[in-house]
Amino acid sequence: MQDSNHIQNLAPFMTKLQKGFALDGADYEQIFSALMSKEYDIIQLAGLLVLISEKSLYADSLCALVQNILRYSNTFNDAQAMFDIVGTGADGLKTINISTTVSFILASLGVKVAKHGNGAISSQSGSSNTLQAIGIKLDSDINALRDLLAKKGLAFFHAPFFHKAVGEVAPVRKRLKIGTVFNVLGPLLNPNTALTHQIMGNYLEEVNFLLAQTLMKLGRTHALVVHGMDGMDEISLCDETLIHELKDGHIYEYRITPEQFGFKRAFHTDIQGGDSAQNAKILQDTLNGELKGAKRDIVVLNAMFALYTADKVKSPSDAKFIIEYALDSGRAWEFYQNYISEFK
């Protein structure tokens, strides 16, 4: 941080929030200008983060926050149909890498997937950890990733490489030791600012509808925000899942169970992963059709809803045979092997 004479006073924004008014785009523009020029007081920033998290959770305000973060991010704008599946993390359930596996399956079926992800938050191995274990180099060159996306239909965007503003607040968040709005922001920050289709997993039930509203304001055309009632930031195989679906400019709320789609309910221990090497093996054994049971089932269930959200089928049920055939016929495995060969 710079000399105190150059420090931006963040108190007016805290006062505004204390009076019950949400922050808007102009507020966030000033805040992030101070943040990115390092002209701020760390104590004020901590207070501001807490107040935003308590007093400014409205779709317009959250959208403005996201847009100002993205102003300082390395982004691109590609309006062709493109899909992302990513969760907030922090559900504490230490599951296998479901969304990463789903990304390979969908890409093998012709869906263009711009997968946004991070390292582990509450599991032993997050998406990015597992990708490295299977030999995928995490690239910070957005043009190289766009070329890969065009060539293969799948690219992985490691969040810390792209979002400078998120990195700037990370030390404050770490020292606060409490949850803030940034705990649920990650999946809203896909580097493609014109992303059309998305499934967002969310560990915090009370913001599920808010996140769907925000995705609508960010321009998504078809999106699901999913929250397992067991706390899972995926569609759960162990409990009901609350879903807010954005489609055709409307948001619909409903709940689903595994049994509705022909799956046996599982225990959390049945779908737990391990370290990055173990999760990589589980991912590979799922894609090559060898793995059966709950780990495969939760991947198939989430992939069904993903194919539906990508507008490739009329309902999730219509996707079940397609997903299972992709795994059992070798299609998903062939795609995976071909994709991995790019990194050798």
Q: Point out the annotated binding site for anthranilate.
A: 87, 118, 173
208: left (phi over 0), alpha (psi -120 to 50) or beta: alpha
The residue length of the chain stands at 344
For residues 278 and 266, is the Cβ–Cβ distance under 8 A?
no
Burial of 297 (0-12, 13-18, 19+ CB in 10 A): buried
Alpha-carbon distance of 298 to 267, in angstroms, equals: 11
DSSP run (H or E) holding 223: strand 222-228
Binding site, annotated residues for Mg(2+): 99, 233-234
DSSP run (H or E) holding 17: helix 11-18
DSSP β-bridge partners for residue 73: 163
Residue 292: CB atoms within 10 Å: 10
Binding site, annotated residues: 87, 95, 97-100, 115-123, 127, 173, 233-234
DSSP 122-149: SSSS-HHHHHHHTTPPP---HHHHHHHH
184: Cβ–Cβ under 8 A, 6 or more apart, which residues? 88, 202, 203, 204, 207, 211
Binding site, annotated residues for 5-phospho-alpha-D-ribose 1-diphosphate: 87, 95, 97-100, 115-123, 127
For residues 25 and 68, is the Cβ–Cβ distance under 8 A?
yes
Alpha-carbon distance of 183 to 202, in angstroms, equals: 10
Q: At 289, which amino acid appears?
A: G
Q: At 25, which amino acid appears?
A: G
Alpha-carbon distance of 220 to 215, in angstroms, equals: 6
Q: Which residue has the tokens 């230490």?
A: 94
